[in-house]
Amino acid sequence: MNMEILVCVKSVPDTEESEIEVNADGSDIKRDDLVYTINEWDNYAVEEAVELVDEHGGSVTVVTVGDDQCEEVLRREMAMGANHGLLLMDDAFEGSDGKGIANILKAAVEKESYDLIMTGAQSDTGAGQVGGMLAALLDYPYASLVNSIEVMDEKKLKVGREIEGGNQEMNEIDLPCVLSIQTGINEPRYVTIRGIRKVSSVEIPTLGASDLGVSGDSVGTGAARVKRIDYFLPELGKGTEMLGGDTEEIVEKLIGILEAKGGLK
């Protein structure tokens, strides 16, 4: 059947290896010691794409908007099984808001012909917006929080969306379409050492603003209508009583509290 799939991925701070801390003037988080990794949701999306192509034929392209350092996540996903990688990089892209990123990706989509476009359901900013925006810009149907995909024929898919209460909303969606993928949809495979070897000598093409035909007024800081001003630490809840002391003291206090609040049977 052959499916040409594009998966949009993002390089994000690895919260398992690094602490997220706000810098001194609140302008950003401290990035010096950060280790970056593939956004967890995107990894599930790539695995899903590779499984679809394993079954139906075709190829998987992973794309990211970023800098040189972001190439690493592209390589990781290619070592995992994606066939092609694409880096979209240009100074003009700096400071883009969600719509700006979607505009950049739209230009990349229009350079080729893809049957299916996937993103992760969200990333480190917790926004989960790029997929939906990209779909609307392309006028493709969209489904978010997808936790199951079944190919019905070369014109449509049956997808399940994860909704409240642990229920699943089943939909039929026309191709080409955009899907945002939820964690737990599959079990991402290991990066094999052969995959690493295969990918180590591959050149990953880079496209800039003029290659993509993206105009300055649709991307970058200038075009951004939503701008982050600062970072700060949220306050502890006002009513939160933090218990101190050594373990024995804490245990005693907890038992007292549990008794008072009806936690003991």
Partner 1 sequence: MFDKSKYSVNQKLIKDFVKQLSKSCDYSYFLENMKNEQFSTEYWATMGEAGYIGIITPEECGGAGFRGEELAVFMYHMARSTLASYQLMTQIVCCELLTKFGTEKQKKKFLPEIIDGKLCSLATSDLHEGMNLFEMNVTAAKEGKTYTLNGTKSYVFGAKESDRLIVAARTANKDCEKEGISLFILIGEADGIELTPKEINIRTTVTLEPEFMTITGDRVYELRFTNVEIPLESRIGEENMGGQVVQEAADLLMIMMATAAVGWGDYVLEKAVEHAKKRVIFEEPIGSYQAVQHPLARAKTELELAKLAVGRAVMAYQSEEDKEDISIYAGIAKYSATEASYTAFDVSMQTHGGYSADRETGIITLWPMVLLSRIIPLNNDVILEKYAEAGLGLAEGAIS
Partner 2 sequence: MSRLFAYISHKGGLADDTALELIHAARKIDAAASVTAVITGSGADLDTVCTEMAASYREVWKIDHQALAYPNAEAIRKALANILPADGIVLIGNDTLGMDLGPGLSIKMDSSFAVDVVDFEGTDGSTLRLVRQEYAGQVSTHVDCDISAGAVITVRPGAFRPDESRVADGRVVDKSGDAGDLRVGRRFLEIVEAEVGDIDITRSEVLVSVGRGIGDKENIEIAKELADALGADLCCSRPIVDAKWLEKLRQVGSSGRTVKPKVYMAMGISGSFQHLMGIKGSPFIIAVNKNPRAPVFQVAQVGVVADIIELMPKLTEALRRGSR
Q: What is the Cα–Cα distance from 46 to 52, expressed in whole angstroms?
A: 10
Q: What is the Cα–Cα distance from 248 to 90, expressed in whole angstroms?
A: 57
Q: How far is the CB of 165 from partner 2 (least distance, A)?
A: 6
Applying CB under 8 A, which part among 48-56, 67-75, 174-182, 210-218 lies near partner 2?
A: 174-182
Looking at beta carbons only, is 16 or 203 nearer to partner 2? Answer: 16
Q: How far is the CB of 260 from partner 1 (least distance, A)?
A: 26
| 203: partner contacted, choices partner 2, partner 1, none (Cβ within 5-8 A by kind) | none
Q: Would you say how long the chain is, in residues?
A: 265
| 106: partner contacted, choices partner 1, partner 2, none (Cβ within 5-8 A by kind) | none
Per-residue interface string for the shown chain with partner 2, residues 124-163, x marking contact by CB under 8 A: xxxxxxxxxx-xxx--xxxxxx------------x-xxxx
Q: Smallest Cα–Cα separation from 87: which of 109, 67, 103, 107?
A: 67
Per-residue interface string for the shown chain with partner 2, residues 61-90, x marking contact by CB under 8 A: ------------------------------
Q: What is the Cα–Cα distance from 251 to 259, expressed in whole angstroms?
A: 12
The two three-digit tokens of residue 124, written as one number:
């480190």
The two three-digit tokens of residue 152, written as one number:
């019905």
The two three-digit tokens of residue 24, written as one number:
């001194």
Q: How far is the CB of 249 from partner 2 (least distance, A)?
A: 11
| Site for partner 1, rule CB under 8 A | 35, 37, 71-72, 75-76, 79, 188, 190-194, 196-197, 200, 246-247
Neighbours of 240 (CB within 10 A): 7
Decide: residue 183, CB within 10 A, 0-12 exposed, 13-18 middle, 19+ buried: middle
Q: Per rule CB under 8 A, is residue 170 in the interface with partner 2?
A: yes
